[in-house]
Amino acid sequence: MSMDAVRLVEVGARDGLQNEARCLPVDTRVALVERLADCGLRTIEAGAFVSPRWVPQMAGSDEVLRRVGQRPGVTYTALVPNLQGLDMALAAGCREVAVFAAASEAFSQKNINCSIAQSLARFEPVLAKALEQGVAVRGYVSCVLGCPFTGAVPVAQVVAVTQALYAMGCYEISLGDTIGTGTPEATHRLIEACAGSVPVTALAGHFHDTYGMAVANVQAAWQAGVRVFDSSVSGLGGCPYSPGATGNVATEELVYLFEGQGVATGVDLAKLIEVGVFIDSQLQRSGESRVAKALRARIR
């Protein structure tokens, strides 16, 4: 990827929807994924192979993956917590999966009921089988800039988990500010520290907008060398451990940010805004991104 281009990983159909109270039918989720691809997004999280008992919003992810099929130049990914989830993803034709760890011991125990070390050990056979099958694996690290239970998270802990996932075979590690408490300076320091152990080209940023810092943190990570960012159409989602959190940074805002600086995203912003209107209506939600609201006001 050119250094004057950015790759946006659209997580609205997975990380976004799974944190919205309303469960959408498979038909609507398929329509969302296909419309996102029509906008020019080339990496789209389409589902998660997790227990529908705990995450009912992701039930039927196998059907979503099968129905969207394959589109040239587009990668549809899915989250897998273990070997069983990987097998389901493979059966659905998924060619890229993601695993998730935490940089905070307290968050790891609360979120996936095991220690960081145990979670990493659980991923070893997942990585081995996925790579054997020619399936790429992406890693997520949550709570990189703060934990809802313990507050500050040592940078060294984030680096250690990031390094472990990379050594295990994750081609890319997404660093997640799960509760949205990060600042640009802290973000820059974190990226520099992680880039001392893994190539900066293997790092991605995943920022939440709880304190209105997401776009600023993206810019700081960009300046530190990161060229891949997760985002969610219309800012879908949130964090169940952070009441009042406004969720993932909106894809519309990152397209506006980068295109305004001459950095190519490959995404049609007008089409993307319409996708946001579509999914907000399906969720009966009034959650347009600030960019979408501002541009609509100008058009009127």
Q: Give the per-residue pLDDT at 297.
A: 73
CA distance 145 to 62: 33
pLDDT above 90 for 123: yes
Q: Give the per-residue pLDDT at 245.
A: 56
Let me know if 171 is exposed, middle or buried by CB neighbors in 10 A (0-12, 13-18, 19+): middle
CA distance 119 to 55: 19
CA distance 136 to 34: 21
pLDDT above 90 for 76: yes
Let me know if 40 is exposed, middle or buried by CB neighbors in 10 A (0-12, 13-18, 19+): middle
Residue 223 phi/psi, 5-degree rounding, is: -65, -25
pLDDT above 70 for 1: no
Q: Quick one: average pLDDT of 12-19? A: 95
Residue 192 within any structural domain of the chain: yes
Residue 2 within any structural domain of the chain: no
3-state percent helix, strand, coil for the chain, nearest multiple of 5 = 45, 20, 35
Q: What is the CATH number of the domain that holds 265?
A: 3.20.20.70
Q: Give the per-residue pLDDT at 242.
A: 57
Helix locations, the chain, DSSP H? 26-38, 61-68, 83-91, 105-112, 116-132, 155-168, 184-194, 214-223, 251-259, 269-283, 290-299
- Residues noted as catalytic: 239
Let me know if 284 is exposed, middle or buried by CB neighbors in 10 A (0-12, 13-18, 19+): exposed
Give the residues across from 248 on adjacent strands: 208
Q: Give the per-residue pLDDT at 48.
A: 97
**At a CB cut-off of 8 Å and minimum separation 6, what does 205 contact?**
174, 175, 187, 191, 217, 218, 221, 226, 228, 229, 230
pLDDT above 90 for 77: yes
Residue 223 within any structural domain of the chain: yes
pLDDT bucket at 121, cuts 50 / 70 / 90: very high
pLDDT in tens, 260-283: 999 999 999 999 999 999 999 999
What residue has token string 């990827």? 1
Give the residues across from 137 on adjacent strands: 97
Residue 1 within any structural domain of the chain: no
Q: Tokens for 175?
A: 């660093």
Which range of residues forms the domain containing residue 71? 7-299
Distance from the Cα of residue 299 to its chain's centroid: 31
pLDDT bucket at 243, cuts 50 / 70 / 90: low
How many of the other CB atoms lie within 10 Å of CB of 149?
13
Number of domains in the chain: 1
Which residue has better confidence, 54 or 240? 54
Q: Quick one: average pLDDT of 63-86? A: 96
Q: Tokens for 194?
A: 């992680």
Q: Give the per-residue pLDDT at 227.
A: 98
Residue 44 within any structural domain of the chain: yes
pLDDT above 90 for 244: no
Which has the closest alpha carbon to 233: 71, 21, 16? 16
For 92-104, give one letter per residue: b (16+ CB within 10 A) or e: bebbbbbbbbbbb
Q: Give the per-residue pLDDT at 239.
A: 62
Which has the closest alpha carbon to 57: 284, 283, 285? 283
Q: Quick one: average pLDDT of 212-236? A: 97
**Degrees to nearest 5, angle at CA 103 with 237 and 49:** 50
Residue 31 within any structural domain of the chain: yes
**What's the pTM value of the predicted model, to 2 decimals?**
0.95
